[in-house]
Amino acid sequence: MQVRLPAPLLLLLASLWRGAPGASELRYPPGKIAVIGAGIGGTSAAYFLRQKFGKDVQIDVFEKGTVGGRLATINVEGKNYEAGGSIIRPLNLHMKHFVKVLGLSGPENRNGLLGIYNGDEFVFEESSWYIINILKLLWHYGFSPLRMNMWVEDIMDKFMRIYRYQSHDYSFSSIEGLLHALGGNDFIQLLNRTINETMQKAGFSQKFIYEVVAPAMRVNYGQGANINGFVGAVSMATADSGLWSVKGGNKLVCNGLLYASKAQLLSGTVLSIEEKTRPKRTGGTVKLYEVSYNSASGSTTDMYDIVLIATPLNRNMSNITFRNFNPPLAQFSDHYHQTVATFVHGRINTSSFGYKDPSHFYLASIFTTENPKLFINSLGVVSPVQNTHEEVRQPMGPAVWKVFSKEPLTKEQMNLLFSSYDSVKEKKWLAYPHYSLPNKCPPIILHDRIYYLNGIEWAASAMEMSAIAAKNAALLSYHHWYGNIDMIDQEDLNEKLKTEL
Ligand SMILES: Cc1cc2nc3c(=O)[nH]c(=O)nc-3n(C[C@H](O)[C@H](O)[C@H](O)COP(=O)(O)OP(=O)(O)OC[C@H]3O[C@@H](n4cnc5c(N)ncnc54)[C@H](O)[C@@H]3O)c2cc1C
Ligand SMILES: *[C@@H]1O[C@H](CO)[C@@H](O)[C@H](O)[C@H]1NC(C)=O
Ligand SMILES: *[C@@H]1O[C@H](CO)[C@@H](O)[C@H](O)[C@H]1NC(C)=O
Ligand SMILES: *[C@@H]1O[C@H](CO)[C@@H](O)[C@H](O)[C@H]1NC(C)=O
Ligand SMILES: *[C@@H]1O[C@H](CO)[C@@H](O)[C@H](O)[C@H]1NC(C)=O
Ligand SMILES: *[C@@H]1O[C@H](CO)[C@@H](O)[C@H](O)[C@H]1NC(C)=O
């Protein structure tokens, strides 16, 4: 006699059958997940992992330095200033969400007037009169600034699709796949062309690229118009208005996410990861990852079902060894660009910038064009993190200036830049990728259940990008674990989700 299975059961069986090979053995929830790095990438990964995997899984976050990583503050004369990642853009929706759920506040940054210096003179000086700025821009660059806004907006419209995909739980197994799902081949092409070439092809003038685009890249990435078109475009989005940062310091988001995720913070340096086979209580074997780390109490190891790596894989930054993998894991050594942030409390030497009479000088932010004789990328007056609505900024009086340069400033250079100063603090960063073409983004999946977040920095390095990579890795690890292959690398998501609404 033939037994008819009820339809819901058939559906259930079908969905089990569709699962990835070996998926059914993974249908119990994972016991332990390791996240390496407590920057914005690692802490937001812990947050999203908790959302997906539920309250029972143990999440351990390893940190060898301070929670926040490249989000850090520095103390100058009793007040704290952002020393690393500082600016958040209005359309950075994950950062916005974190600040909201964590009960933090993110006031808008008010920047003083901007000048662009080419080593001999200012090629552009902002005025406090809106209409004068418009006329100046038109006079210098024609309609390029306006066109640029539209050009960037078009790219951002596509980029913003990521939030819809992620809110529907879709994930991607490669950076290229993620970008392709957002903007098709155009986005992939942006990765392999400089912003210079990309904007030339789009009809922007050399003058505009040299005097406006390159200086913005130098502030954001310490590199000029030869960085890739994708990072170039997203970092120009709303270059002027609505920029904000977190009151008290951006790193508070990391502390908050860690707390909200109920993850355990393990202060220590991860040295190696090794795959181990262990017998299961129920018979058979299970593969786990053994994480070895050094902490104040000595060397320890711990076993994990899933590992997320949320730090650049680079000997100088994380120095993690993958042991006994067969075949061995590709060891890549991504080269990161050094940027030095120097904080100076003092008076700017206006004659260094061609101003004989300091009383005529009113700029609070100086960008630079590419010129080998310039030893700085930018300098600007900064406000403390406690008080982003600083009183009126007085660039002529003593103020705290933040200088970005490739190398530490020498005493002679300091004396050129400042007519007087009383305190100096310096922070040297391996800050972001050293972008060069051709650009190959590192993989997200390093091994069955080892995921790498920071490859996304090769498309673009920013807090929001780390948060996007974190949510993607949390979703991807979840879907792999439960065999939801229909939630990974879906084509035509944009069309699919349109009709779903
Ligand atoms: C000077 C500067 C200016 C910037 N400006 C901006 C900006 O204005 N806007 C913006 O959006 N972005 C900016 N960025 C970029 C932004 O700060 C980074 O993209 C982002 O903070 C990276 O976060 P992450 O968590 O991916 O990495 P990280 O913050 O680097 O976190 C990695 C963490 O892992 C830890 N770690 C490393 N190895 C190990 C190990 N073996 N064991 C245990 N722990 C380990 C590290 O100590 C670190 O805390 C700037 C960066 C710099 C340096
Ligand atoms: C852009 O590329 C052109 C060559 O196509 C080069 O001459 C120019 O100097 C570059 N501009 C910048 C700002 O890098
Ligand atoms: C990286 O770690 C190895 C041992 O694990 C050590 O010998 C080496 O000096 C470390 N390198 C750096 C740059 O810290
Ligand atoms: C690490 O630092 C050394 C010395 O500063 C440098 O030569 C090397 O290129 C760096 N490696 C990477 C991967 O950045
Ligand atoms: C200021 O800059 C000028 C021109 O670069 C330089 O001659 C002078 O020594 C600098 N220092 C002071 C204190 O003015
Ligand atoms: C960029 O070009 C290189 C070499 O041509 C290629 O290996 C790489 O895959 C390309 N990257 C992308 C994102 O297309």
pLDDT digits (tens, 9 = 90+) for 270-280: 999 999 998 88
Q: Which of 88, 173, 164 is nearest to 464 (CA)?
A: 88
CA 422/CA 402 separation, integer angstroms: 14
| Residue 100: burial class (beta carbons within 10 Å; 0-12, 13-18, 19+) | exposed
Residue 209 C-alpha to ligand 2 middle, in angstroms?
A: 8
Task: Say what the pLDDT of residue 19 is.
Answer: 42
Two structure tokens written together for 97? 């969400």
Q: Is the CB of 314 under 6 A from ligand 4?
A: yes
Q: Which of 374, 382, 312 is nearest to 342 (CA)?
A: 382
Residue 382 C-alpha to ligand 5 middle, in angstroms?
A: 23
Task: Say what the pLDDT of residue 275 is.
Answer: 95
Q: Is the CB of 315 under 6 A from ligand 4?
A: yes
pLDDT exceeds cutoff 50 at 397: yes
Please provide the distance, in angstroms rounded to a whole number, between the alpha carbons at the two ends of the chain. Answer: 45
Question: What is the average per-residue pLDDT within 153-158?
Answer: 94
Give the residue with greater pLDDT, 263 vs 501: 263
Q: Is the CB of 429 under 6 A from ligand 1?
A: yes
pLDDT exceeds cutoff 60 at 106: yes
CA 31/CA 311 separation, integer angstroms: 23
Task: Say what the pLDDT of residue 23 is.
Answer: 46
Closest Cα to atom 3, ligand 4: which residue? 316
The residue type of 135 is L
CA 346/CA 324 separation, integer angstroms: 55
Closest ligand 4 atom to Cα of 336 = 14
Closest ligand 2 atom to Cα of 196 = 1
Q: Is the CB of 472 under 6 A from ligand 2?
A: no
Residue 432 C-alpha to ligand 1 middle, in angstroms?
A: 8
Contacts of 65 (CB under 8 A, 6+ apart): none
pLDDT exceeds cutoff 80 at 390: no
- Residue ranges of alpha helices (H) inside 142-228 are 144-159, 161-167, 175-191, 195-201, 206-208, 214-221
Q: Is the CB of 440 under 6 A from ligand 6?
A: yes
Ligand 5 mutation pick, 349, 355, 373, max ligand atoms within 8 A of CB: 349
- Phi-psi region for residue 349, left (φ > 0), alpha (ψ -120 to 50) or beta? beta
Q: Which of 67, 88, 86, 49 is nearest to 451 (CA)?
A: 49
Per DSSP, the three-state class of 501 is: coil
Split at pLDDT 50, 70, 90, the class of 414 is very high
Task: Say what the pLDDT of residue 242 is.
Answer: 82
CB 435, CB 227: distance < 8 Å: yes
* Ligand that lies nearest to the alpha carbon of residue 467, given by its number in the listed order: 1
Q: Is the CB of 352 under 6 A from ligand 5?
A: yes
The pTM is what?
Answer: 0.93
Closest ligand 2 atom to Cα of 209 = 13
pLDDT digits (tens, 9 = 90+) for 200-223: 999 999 999 999 999 999 999 999
Q: Which of 284, 301, 283 is nearest to 292 (CA)?
A: 301
Split at pLDDT 50, 70, 90, the class of 178 is very high
The residue type of 289 is Y
Question: What is the average per-residue pLDDT within 395-414?
Answer: 92
Question: What is the average per-residue pLDDT within 279-283?
Answer: 85
DSSP notation for 470-482? HHHHHHHHHHHHH
Task: Say what the pLDDT of residue 396 is.
Answer: 65
Closest ligand 3 atom to Cα of 315 = 13
Q: Is the CB of 331 under 6 A from ligand 4?
A: no
Which H helix or E strand runs over 270? strand 264-279
Residue 226 C-alpha to ligand 2 middle, in angstroms?
A: 8
Pocket lined around ligand 3, Cβ cut-off 6 Å: 271, 315-316, 319, 321
Q: Is the CB of 214 under 6 A from ligand 2?
A: yes
pLDDT digits (tens, 9 = 90+) for 4-31: 444 444 444 444 444 444 444 557 899 9
Task: Say what the pLDDT of residue 171 is.
Answer: 98
Q: Is the CB of 295 under 6 A from ligand 5?
A: no
Residue 192 C-alpha to ligand 6 middle, in angstroms?
A: 6
pLDDT digits (tens, 9 = 90+) for 417-467: 999 999 999 999 999 999 999 888 999 999 999 999 999 999 999 999 999
pLDDT exceeds cutoff 90 at 41: yes
High-pLDDT (> 90) share of the chain, %:
74
Give the residue with greater pLDDT, 55 vs 327: 55
The Cα-based distances of 332 to 221, 289, 337, 456, 473 in angstroms read 21, 20, 16, 14, 19
* Ligand that lies nearest to the alpha carbon of residue 431, given by its number in the listed order: 1
Residue 49 C-alpha to ligand 1 middle, in angstroms?
A: 20
* Ligand that lies nearest to the alpha carbon of residue 314, given by its number in the listed order: 4
Q: Is the CB of 349 under 6 A from ligand 5?
A: yes
DSSP notation for 408-466? PPPHHHHHHHEEEEEEEEEEEEEEEE---SS--PPPSEEETTEEE-GGGGGT--SHHHH
Question: What is the average per-residue pLDDT within 399-406?
Answer: 96
Q: Is the CB of 419 under 6 A from ligand 5?
A: yes
Which H helix or E strand runs over 51? helix 40-53
Sign of CA dihedral 404, 409, 413, 416: positive
* Ligand that lies nearest to the alpha carbon of residue 332, given by its number in the listed order: 4
- Residue found under tokens 């409390």: 345
Task: Say what the pLDDT of residue 357 is.
Answer: 86
CA 244/CA 241 separation, integer angstroms: 9
CB 56, CB 329: distance < 8 Å: no
Average model confidence (pLDDT) across the chain? 90
